[in-house]
Amino acid sequence: MTSASPELVIFDSDGVLVDSEIIALTVLVQTASEEGISIRVEDAIRSFRGVKMADCVREIEHRLGRRVRDSFIDDVRRATALAFDAELKPIEGIHAALAEIDVPVCVASNGPMSKLTHALGLTKLLEHFEGRIFSAYEVGSWKPDPGLFLHAARTLGVHPSRCVVVEDSLSGVRAAKAAGMKVLGFTGGDSGAERELAEICDDLCHRMSDLPALLRME
């Protein structure tokens, strides 16, 4: 995939490290239903995966024709945290993959830091990334803007061209490409995601057990 091994592997969190997307989007859909709007989870996946919360709320308000309650985002965050406590699991194979990867790794996510550390802690992944977790809320730049990825690379002293990003959303892939980084699209075996990501990613990763070998390919 690359002309030489990368010097930094940047992971998205939701759907890449932790199996959180269906949980979080189900909570968002349920909270939206309390406002009087019906959204299917499948529609939420297409519309909201990898999208910052403020933009999700804007779209919900557009469909609703009015503003949501002031506590909407706080209610979503609170309910999501409780759902994570009950249901969250790591992506299958990620612990073994991280044990095999022998270059530095970090996390760069659109989520707030509290959500990231909570999710990574619950799934026993925090030790792999502690001190190298980058939140869009702290940087002030959300995917698909490349600023978050560029900040992570700059902070860790790696040129963007020597970074590989592992992403499952179009917004994340676009951010990585705009930052001048190689991108592995993680499909998790989802044929729909495969079709979507194949067009713009440098390569695809269908299972985390495949990731170390893909990173070593020259």
CATH number for the domain spanning 61: value is: 1.10.150.240
In the chain, the number of structural domains is 2
CA–CA dist 76, 64 (Å, integer)? 17
Question: Is 38 part of a structural domain of the chain?
Answer: yes
Question: Is 111 part of a structural domain of the chain?
Answer: yes
Return the bridge partners of 205, or none.
186
Report which of 130, 160, 158, 166 is spatially closest to residue 147, judged by C-alpha positions: 160
Question: Do 28 and 50 belong together in one domain?
Answer: yes
Q: What is the pLDDT of residue 49?
A: 85
Q: What is the pLDDT of residue 3?
A: 53
Helices within 101-169 (DSSP H only): 113-122, 126-129, 136-139, 147-155
Question: Do 54 and 147 belong together in one domain?
Answer: no
Question: Residue 50's domain spans which residues?
Answer: 21-87
Q: Which of 37-46, 82-91, 112-121 has the lowest mean pLDDT?
A: 37-46
Question: Do 43 and 116 belong together in one domain?
Answer: no
Question: Do 100 and 138 belong together in one domain?
Answer: yes
Mean pLDDT within 167-181? 96
**Structure token digits, residue 179:** 């930052």
Question: Do 195 and 159 belong together in one domain?
Answer: yes
Mean pLDDT within 153-162? 98
Kind and range of the H or E element at 178? helix 170-178
Question: Do 83 and 58 belong together in one domain?
Answer: yes
What is this structure's pTM? Answer: 0.90
Q: What is the pLDDT of residue 1?
A: 47
CATH number of the domain within which 122 lies: 3.40.50.1000
Question: Is 2 part of a structural domain of the chain?
Answer: no
Of 61, 87, 113, which residue sits at a domain end? 87
Question: Is 3 part of a structural domain of the chain?
Answer: no
Q: What is the DSSP letter of 66?
A: S
The pLDDT of residue 178 is above 70: yes
Cα–Cα–Cα angle for 110, 2, 14, nearest 5°? Answer: 20
**Structure token digits, residue 83:** 């759902």
Neighbours of 48 (CB within 10 A): 22
Neighbours of 49 (CB within 10 A): 20
Average pLDDT of the chain, as a whole number: 94
Q: If 0-12 CB within 10 Å is exposed, 13-18 middle and 19+ buried, where does residue 113 land?
A: middle
The pLDDT of residue 203 is above 60: yes
Question: Do 64 and 127 belong together in one domain?
Answer: no
Banded model confidence at residue 196, pLDDT cuts 50, 70, 90 = confident
Question: Is 55 part of a structural domain of the chain?
Answer: yes
Helices 72-87 and 21-34: angle between axes, nearest 10 degrees: 140
CA–CA dist 190, 22 (Å, integer)? 13
Q: What is the pLDDT of residue 5?
A: 82
Banded model confidence at residue 218, pLDDT cuts 50, 70, 90 = very low
Q: How many CA atoms lie within 13 A of 202 on its CB side?
A: 20
Question: Do 105 and 209 belong together in one domain?
Answer: yes
Helices within 18-159 (DSSP H only): 21-34, 41-48, 53-64, 72-87, 94-100, 113-122, 126-129, 136-139, 147-155
Q: What is the pLDDT of residue 191?
A: 72
Question: Do 72 and 113 belong together in one domain?
Answer: no
Question: Do 105 and 80 belong together in one domain?
Answer: no
Q: What is the pLDDT of residue 106?
A: 98
Q: What is the pLDDT of residue 43?
A: 93
For residue 168, indicate whether it is catalytic.
Answer: no
CA–CA dist 87, 126 (Å, integer)? 17
Q: Out of 12, 14, 19, 145, which one is annotated catalytic? A: 12
Q: Which residues of 198-216 are buried (b: 16+ CB within 10 A; e: fewer)?
A: eeebbbbbbebebbbebbe
